[in-house]
Amino acid sequence: MTKKSSLFIQLAIKKGVLKFGQFKTKAGRISPYFFNLGNFNDGESLDQLGEFYAAKIKESKLEFDMLYGPAYKGIPLVAAIAISLSDETNPAPYSFNRKEEKDHGEGGQIIGCPIHGKVLIVDDVISAGTSIKESIDIIKKHGGVPSGIVVAIDRQEKGDHEKSALQEIQEKYKIPVISIISLNEVIDYVKDDQDFKAILDDLKSYQNQYGAS
């Protein structure tokens, strides 16, 4: 686990983004943790979140011409990341979608920079991959080329098969998918923090049962 990963987990716990307990997932599983990026809900933490994403993007050396964030959580997220990435040589253009196309005013589905070139998708987490599929379809429809995906956490959890949703997306669309942290790093963090050692066995048990191959 890197220092940046540890700092991100620390911030996520502080803001109630990462919680431990018993939570029912969409798949009906009882998870010992829950991750809700929506709890980065003030200017200070959103600024920090943008910096964490920006650092990961720079570290990955992914090539892109613009950023795209799917509605709704992706909207403040993509804006914060664009601000963190922008400098004199890179204005970091970005856009996001409406859930429903507007048929008056400026109309259309896309708000922000017109989609063009290589498009880097930013989102919170990949679960079933539905949001990512919709994003890829929208980008292609508007003439862009999806070049990669960046998410906050890789749950490393198998879906209907033995591979995780993240792995399936990578294989299906042939684009890289990176994350700021993974479940493995959450487990490593818990190991080293006396306040959370009680949850360690539950996390390991959940990973043993549902972890992707």
Q: What is the DSSP string of 86-122?
A: --SS----EEEEEEEEE-STT-EEEEESPP-SEEEEE
With tokens 């992706």, the residue in question is 74
Reduced to 3 states (helix: H, G, I; strand: E, B; else coil), residue 36 is coil
Per the annotation, the verdict on 58 as an active-site residue is: no
For residue 125, the model assigns a pLDDT of 86
For residue 193, the model assigns a pLDDT of 84
For residue 102, the model assigns a pLDDT of 58
Q: How far is CA 167 from CA 16, 21, 22, 85, 138, in A?
A: 27, 27, 26, 27, 21
For residue 126, the model assigns a pLDDT of 81
145's enclosing H/E stretch is strand 145-154
Long-range CB pairs of 162-165, under 8 A, 24+ apart, other chains included: 162/212, 162/213, 163/212, 163/213, 164/212, 165/126, 165/127, 165/128, 165/129
| pTM for this predicted structure | 0.92
Reduced to 3 states (helix: H, G, I; strand: E, B; else coil), residue 202 is helix
Task: Choose the catalytic residue: 26, 61, 99, 104.
Answer: 104
169's enclosing H/E stretch is helix 165-173
For residue 119, the model assigns a pLDDT of 98
For residue 137, the model assigns a pLDDT of 95
Residues with pLDDT less than 70, the chain: 101-107, 128-129
Per the annotation, the verdict on 116 as an active-site residue is: no
- Residue type at position 56: K
Q: What is the CATH number of domain 3-210?
A: 3.40.50.2020
- Residue type at position 152: A
Task: Choose the catalytic residue: 14, 102, 133, 172.
Answer: 102
For residue 151, the model assigns a pLDDT of 96
Q: Is residue 162 within 8 Å of residue 187, measured between CB atoms?
A: no
149's enclosing H/E stretch is strand 145-154
For residue 198, the model assigns a pLDDT of 85
